Amino acid sequence: MAEESLLRISNLTKIYRKSHLGRVHETTGVKDLSLEIFHGEIFGLLGLNGAGKTTTLKLILGLLFPTEGEVRLFGKKLPDSSAIRQVGFLPETPYFPKHFTVKEMLEFYGLLSGVPEKEIANKAQDVLKTVNMFQNQGKRIKECSKGMLQRLSLAQALIHDPRLLVLDEPITGLDPLGLAEMREMILRLNREGKTILFSSHIISEVEKIAGRVGILSGGKLIRVIPSQDWRDKTGALENMFVETVKSAGGVEI
Amino acid sequence: MRKIFSIARYTFIGNFRNRIFLVLVLFGLMLLGASVLLGLLSQEQELRMLTDLGLAAIETLSFLTAIFLMGNLVLEEMESKTIYLILTRSVSRGEYLLGRFLGTMVSVLSCYVIMTAAHLALLLAKGWSPEKEGFLYFLSVFMSFEKIVLISALSLLFSLFSSSGVVSLVFTIFFWVLGHFSMELKFLAGEIHKGYLKAVFKFVYYIVPHFQYMNARDLWVTVADKMTFYLVEGSVYTAVYSAFSLVLALLIFRKKEF
């Protein structure tokens, strides 16, 4: 039986245009990117800073509009609100308004994601327990530590029980303990049936989590590597990454 | 509808927990207090002075509150990136914008009601008779709030096509001032004979909001008997102008990338 495609990106191009004093300056964010993510997999987008990882994720989430190409989520061409309802997004840095409590924030995001009002309180408590934030639910955002915000950020992505999780640099900036916790969490969510798409430039972590990796360089998807190619081979993914990026001209070493 | 309500509620709570908002309300109450002192100077016309100054203070403070809140409404969320976690859900851009607008309007209305209540208490303490002028007073209060609604919608529109809060603030204040002189603009357009200058004045006259439709406070004494007509005219004008501004704001917002 063929694998179920959750996300299909076809010939996606994003060109940023900025005009200043009548002169238009163009920068390519992503160029001719095609990719398919299947149900139940963990896919890692690997690339150097500025390779186009965040641009790709933003195009999937509708924060940016493609210059060319299309994104199909659960078979529906984006933008489509019923498709986006099944997506949970974890941004690189936790962004929350500081005047609210953890519980208020989570309930707000839940309601916006279509969680019924009578279920929202229980749902928020369950998710807070999952991310070990239950005891901090009454805390104001401005009183939360960085670690707490990171956990709340994950909680808001899970509040509506999405089928696809899009995680932008979920392991960047975490201490070793937080890193292990996040890795465990991603693997557990995947075991529970969630498909995960994440971006990172930390190869040592990506190889522990991902089932497939896509290497981005200069806005282009250069290579897709399945985990069989690097599992049980020390440093294999790093070597493949360096080799691929160098041959694409994306780095000078 | 539920999403619009949730966003409006979130905006309202956020505003109320923001110290700047509370400072503005406090400042408004202080200004009302100051009008008592000015009222004393006018001796026989103390009540008239107190009424006019109080209403003017309420309107000015509400105007400032509205434009500060509205001018930063979306820009602040864009800068802090808190908008990411809202727009990456099944929330349309229209629901977001309308929810934010309504939440801010409820915040401004709350501030307006608090100041009006304080003003009324002040007037009653000074022996003002609600039987005589009550209807006209509340009509003035209502129509003055219509001006605030209209300028808020315009302020939101300006904030979306400029990337700086200050620029949108300047534009809004400019339109607020011009809007109070729209009849003078019309008069000038009629007096000028040079083609292009006449066209410029006419154009400005047509695009600026015509606040004279809502200036019940100024018309109180002269045309008290036509107030119902002014109420309908002002309300329709506010609704149409505000809706048009919001539609334009939405068209711009739908194209925005984050």
ipTM of the complex, rounded to two decimals: 0.88
Judged by CB atoms closer than 8 Å, whether chains meet at A89 and B88 is answered as: yes
Q: Does B22 touch chain A (CB under 8 A)?
A: no
Record: contact A85-B90, CB cut-off 8 A? yes
- How close A24 comes to chain B (CA, Å)? 17
Q: Which residue of B has its CA nearest to A154?
A: B85
Average pLDDT estimate for A20-42 = 91
- Going by pLDDT thresholds of 50, 70 and 90, the confidence category of residue B222 is low
What are the residue boundaries of the structural domains of chain A, listed by start? 5-86+163-247, 96-160
Residue B174: CB atoms within 10 A of its CB come to: 12
Token code pair at residue B92:
């349309």
Cα separation, B205 vs B236, in Å, equals 18
Element (H, E) at B206: helix B195-207
Residue A252 has pLDDT above 50, yes or no: no
Backbone dihedral region of A231: left (phi > 0), alpha (psi from -120 to 50 degrees) or beta?
beta
| A 56-115: CB under 8 A from B | 58, 61-65, 81-82, 84-85, 87, 89, 91, 93, 95-97, 99-100, 104, 108-109, 111-114
Of B10, B82, B89, the CB nearest to A95: B82
Distance CA B19, CA B22 (A): 5
- CA angle (B168, B171, B174) in 5-degree steps: 150
Which residues make Cβ contacts (< 8 Å) with residue B100, sequence separation at least 6?
A: B7, B8, B11, B73, B74
pLDDT of A253 reads 39
A82 phi and psi angles, rounded to 5 deg? -70, -30
Mean pLDDT of A116-144: 92
Domain around B149: 2-255
- Chain B residues touching residue A63 (CB < 8 angstroms): 84, 87-88, 257-258
pLDDT digits (tens, 9 = 90+) for B16-34: 887 666 777 777 777 777 7
Using CA atoms, how far apart are residues B185 and B205, in angstroms rounded to an integer? 6
Indicate yes or no: CB of B87 within 8 angstroms of CB of A91: no
Confidence (pTM): 0.89
- What percent of chain A lies above the pLDDT cut of 70? 97
The residue among B192 and A228 whose pLDDT is bigger is: A228
Determine the residue of chain A that is closest to B81 in CA distance: A95
As assigned by CATH, the class of the A5-86+163-247 domain is: alpha beta
- Residue B142's pLDDT is 93
- Give the nearest partner residue to A113 out of B90, B257, B258, using CB atoms: B90
pLDDT tens string B153-202? 999 999 998 878 889 999 999 999 999 998 888 888 888 887 788 888 88
For residue A228 the two structure tokens come to 């069989």
Task: Summarize the confidence of residues A216-230 as an average pLDDT.
Answer: 92
Beta-bridged to residue A87, according to DSSP, are A164
Total count of residues recorded for chain B: 258
B160, B76 contact by CB (below 8 A): no
- Number of domain units in chain B: 1
What is the least distance, in Å, from the CA of A33 to any CA of chain B?
Answer: 19
Of A61, A157, A76, A45, give the one whose Cα is nearest residue A110. Answer: A157
Average pLDDT over residues B130-159: 92
Dihedral through CA A64, CA A68, CA A69, CA A73, nearest 10? 20
Predicted confidence band at A189 (pLDDT cuts at 50, 70, 90)? very high
Cα–Cα dist B240/B258, whole Å: 30
